[in-house]
């Protein structure tokens, strides 16, 4: 007996978010924690910078660390574990790059809008809304980049829930960047931020439904082909930021106890702003 065409078109395809087990979420959580910690470190130096140019450069570094490594890399690593049974997966490189730019830009704008330690709650909430909206845009732009061989639809309630999580997480993260002053506190704050990032991602992914029939051919680049160069670039960025932070004078000691001069990184950033 023939199956009606409408039933074939409406068939829900089986999909998985943990194709490789816990490897993807654990790796994603590690990137989220590393990016959050480096971003909070850069934010401390932005507050301590002597010039506007120095503050700008450290703030941009914080945006790259939190938005690029902590949020986008977590998203991409987790997405590699997303597969559809009986269908190939391919990524649109332009939309993938656009999702990266959205993540970094959203955090950067959020940092500037929210102000610093002494800014009021209205600015912080506005910054959280802007940043959260950008993170949501990043996530669903990244999803739009994925060709699944089927038709992707979303549960609107779970989409709304992911947006709420993104705004709350962004507001908390922006507050952390303004007030966290010690490495021990930064480690705890990074843990909170990374769990929030992972939670937002998988809340958004829980909204996904893929309907068939699956197509034999999908256009784009295999995620496993993209994975290696992206991992290499991410590791280069992380190592560069780690050395930049380590080369700068410790902010954990009172200024009177610091007998070392500002590092080349700080001097260059401050000199550029003069």
Would you give per-residue pLDDT tens digits along the chain (274 residues)?
Answer: 444 444 444 577 788 889 899 999 999 999 999 999 999 999 888 888 888 888 899 999 999 999 999 999 999 999 999 988 878 889 999 999 999 999 999 999 999 998 777 778 889 999 999 999 999 999 999 999 998 878 889 999 999 999 999 999 999 999 898 888 777 788 889 999 999 999 999 999 999 998 877 666 778 898 889 999 999 999 999 998 888 877 776 665 554 444 444 444 444 445 444 4
> Using CA atoms, how far apart are residues 133 and 136, in angstroms rounded to an integer?
5
Residues 205-244 as b/e (b if ≥16 CB within 10 A, e otherwise) read bebbebbbbbeeebebeebeebeeebeeebeebbeebeeb
Q: Where are the beta strands (DSSP E) in the chain?
A: 12-13, 15-16, 83-84, 90-91, 146-147, 151-154, 208-211
What is the pLDDT, as a whole number, of residue 8? 47
Q: Give the other-Cβ count within 10 Å of 7's Cβ.
A: 8
Given CA atoms 125, 131, 134, 140 in this order, what sign does their dihedral have? Answer: negative
> In the chain, what is the straight-line distance between the N-terminal and C-terminal CA atoms, in Å?
79
What is the pLDDT, as a whole number, of residue 248? 73
Instruction: Classify burial at 152, counting beta carbons within 10 Å of its beta carbon; exposed 0-12, middle 13-18, buried 19 or more.
Output: middle
**Region class of 83: left (phi > 0), else alpha (psi between -120 and 50), else beta:** beta
> Using CA atoms, how far apart are residues 78 and 16, in angstroms rounded to an integer?
11
**pLDDT tens digit string along 40-91?**
999 888 888 888 888 899 999 999 999 999 999 999 999 999 988 878 889 9
Structure tokens belonging to residue 53: 């140019």
What is the model's pTM? 0.84
> Using CA atoms, how far apart are residues 173 and 167, in angstroms rounded to an integer?
10
What is the pLDDT, as a whole number, of residue 49? 84
């Amino acid at each position: 007996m023939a199956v009606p065409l409408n039933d074939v078109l409406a068939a829900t395809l089986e999909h998985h978010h943990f194709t490789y087990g816990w490897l993807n979420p654990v790796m994603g959580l590690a990137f989220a924690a590393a990016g959050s910690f480096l971003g909070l470190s850069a934010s401390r130096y932005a507050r301590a910078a002597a010039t506007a140019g120095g503050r700008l450069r450290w703030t941009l570094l914080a945006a790259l660390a939190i938005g690029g490594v902590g949020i986008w890399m977590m998203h991409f690593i987790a997405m590699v574990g997303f597969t559809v049974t009986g269908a190939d997966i391919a990524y649109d490189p332009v939309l993938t790059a656009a999702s990266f730019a959205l993540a970094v830009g959203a955090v950067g704008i959020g940092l500037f809008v929210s102000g610093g330690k002494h800014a009021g709650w209205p600015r912080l909430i506005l910054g959280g809304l802007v940043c959260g909206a950008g993170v949501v845009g990043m996530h669903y732009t990244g999803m739009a980049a994925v060709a699944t061989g089927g038709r992707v639809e979303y549960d609107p309630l779970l989409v709304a829930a992911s947006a709420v999580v993104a705004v709350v997480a962004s507001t908390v993260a922006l507050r952390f960047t303004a007030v966290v002053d010690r490495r021990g506190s930064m480690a705890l704050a990074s843990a909170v931020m990374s769990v929030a990032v992972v939670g937002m991602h998988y809340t958004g992914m829980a909204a996904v439904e893929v309907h068939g029939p699956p197509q034999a051919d999908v256009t784009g680049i295999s995620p496993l082909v993209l994975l290696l160069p992206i991992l290499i670039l991410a590791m280069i960025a992380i190592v560069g930021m780690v050395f930049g932070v380590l080369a700068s004078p410790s902010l954990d000691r009172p200024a009177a106890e610091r007998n070392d001069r500002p590092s080349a990184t700080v001097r260059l950033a401050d000199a550029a702003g003069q």
